[in-house]
Structure 1
Amino acid sequence: MFHKIITGFAAAAAFVFLTGFGAGAPVLNVISASIPPHPAANMENIEKAVIRAGLTLGWQMVPKGPGRVEGVLTIRKHQAIIEVTFDARSYNINYKDSVNLDYRPNDRTIHSNYNGWIQNLDKAIRAQVTVL
């Protein structure tokens, strides 16, 4: 019986070590993603495209000034806050803050789900600015 307990404990410890329990993924920021040249690619239309992209994925998107939109995604007890900055040629998606996503500022890691949300938002923005 004692051997089974030790074996179970060792297996659990190995799992924790190998999966990096408590360790997050590096925070994904999207830097200088290109916006295709288009006559309609002006600041107003790009802002609308960014907001539309976020809303379709459940983000709350709030304009914060020329070329800046803040996005908030709340899923149960978790929250991600990002800032999308843009001009007529490119956009950026940057981490701003989070709640219950295990963000570690010293090594800039976060729960891996965050990066999936950012990848989805990036794809949605790309799709919206392509059809301006």
Structure 2
Amino acid sequence: PITLGSFEKARTGILEGLAPLKWEAYEKGKGHIVATKKLTKYLLINRVIEPVYYMAEVDIFFDATRYTIQYKNSINLKYDGENIHKLYNQWVHELDQGIRAHTQMRN
């Protein structure tokens, strides 16, 4: 676990870690943040440029000593219960790194 300091430092560090990565977030309860990342790509489909919408939603549970990021929901990321699109893994990895950077800066 990462030493987050206090509950409030953890909360603030997590929220600050989300923002630069364009994750939207709301607090669902004490120690629980729901974060959502959205992306629209334009792809050529049957000779027509079509928007394709991607979305990932995660639960972030935390206390003063640790946090966890858990899959909650997704759109167009091909989740089948075991596997998911590499874009999701990239987003969550970046999210984890952003949170780590901001929570460590607060200590």
Give TM-score, length-normalised by structure 1.
Answer: 0.68
Q: Is the 8 A contact 2:6 2:65 kept in 1?
A: no
Whole-Å separation in 1 of the counterparts to 2:99 and 2:71: 16
Whole-Å separation in 1 of the counterparts to 2:83 and 2:89: 10
Residue 35 of structure 1: how far off its partner (Å): 2.3
Identity of aligned residues (%): 31
Whole-Å separation in 2 of the counterparts to 1:117 and 1:57: 9
Whole-Å separation in 1 of the counterparts to 2:36 and 2:80: 19
Q: Which residue of 2 aligns with 1:98?
A: 74
The structure with higher relative contact order (CA 8 Å, sep 6+) is 2
Match among 59, 62, 76 for residue 83 of structure 1: 59
- Give the number of aligned pairs: 94
The one-letter code of the counterpart of 1:75 is: L
Bigger radius of gyration among the two: 1
The one-letter code of the counterpart of 1:104 is: D
Q: Is the 8 A contact 1:36 1:89 kept in 2?
A: yes
Moved over 4 A (4+): none
Whole-Å separation in 2 of the counterparts to 1:63 and 1:50: 11
Match among 97, 100, 112 for residue 86 of structure 2: 112
Residue 117 of structure 1: how far off its partner (Å): 0.6
Q: Which residue of 2 aligns with 1:62?
A: 26
Residue 45 of structure 1: how far off its partner (Å): 2.0
Residue 58 of structure 1: how far off its partner (Å): 0.3
Structure with the bigger percentage of strand: 2
Superposition pairs of residues 3-82 of structure 1, within 5 angstroms: 34-36=1-3, 41-76=5-40, 77-82=53-58
Q: Is the 8 A contact 2:2 2:66 kept in 1?
A: yes
Output the aligned Cα RMSD: 1.0
The one-letter code of the counterpart of 2:103 is: V
In structure 1, stretches of 5+ residues that fail to align are: 1-33
Whole-Å separation in 2 of the counterparts to 1:126 and 1:113: 20
